[in-house]
Amino acid sequence: MNLALFILILSFLGLIIGIFLGKVTEEEIRPGKKYFNYLQILILVAIIISLLFLANFNLIFLLLLILGFLFENFIKYDKLYLYFGLYGLIGYLTSENYLVLAAVLIFIYGLTYGTLLYENKKLINKFVLMNLFLFFITFLFLFTKPFLFDKMNLFIGFILGGFMGVLKRKLYK
């Protein structure tokens, strides 16, 4: 259990390392921005596909998928790391292999996100603190582990809808 939580904490460090990479390679950010965005889209698609394999489609699942999509599109603050935290918890509850997959995808996305975030130097501290809060607030669900395990399909629906909303925003930006 402790190793699994440590893996999830390390996955958040992708954001911080990405900001450091942005600082070190400041002149390469602008020419590589297009490729960072492509990589983010590719990672989001991989996350969505991995969640689809876990999903058990029913009416409540579809309603929560729509709710997650609407939540992402109509509340204008960036909630991506809330979804990443929930995605990591799903990985924690399913298997070690899925946990490692989730952690790697979160880490790599954080690298690209942090590197692109470095362009807005004034907002870095605000974004890192808010994303840190959103990512780790989901760990409170560990106190309700039996409930979370029983209702995991509902969480998957909400997370999947949220990631689909993020993907839509990335594609039509």
> Does residue 71 register a pLDDT over 60?
yes
User: What six digits make up the tokens of 6?
Assistant: 């440590």
Sign of CA dihedral 108, 110, 113, 115: negative
For 51-64, give the DSSP string. HHHH----HHHHHH
pLDDT tens digit string along 94-129? 888 999 999 999 999 999 998 888 877 777 878 888
Rounded distance between C-alpha atoms, residue 80 and residue 163, angstroms:
8
Residue 49 has φ and ψ, to the nearest 5°, of: -65, -40
Rounded distance between C-alpha atoms, residue 130 and residue 135, angstroms:
9
**1 — pLDDT class (breaks 50, 70, 90):** low
C-alpha distances (whole Å) from 4 to each of 53, 55, 91, 113 are 21, 22, 9, 23
Whether this model's pTM surpasses 0.85: yes
Please state which of the ranges 25-29, 53-57, 68-72, 74-78 shows the lowest mean pLDDT: 74-78
Rounded distance between C-alpha atoms, residue 81 and residue 14, angstroms:
12
For 9-52, give the DSSP string. HHHHHHHHHHHHHHHHTHHHHHHHHHHHHHHHHHHHHHHHHHHH
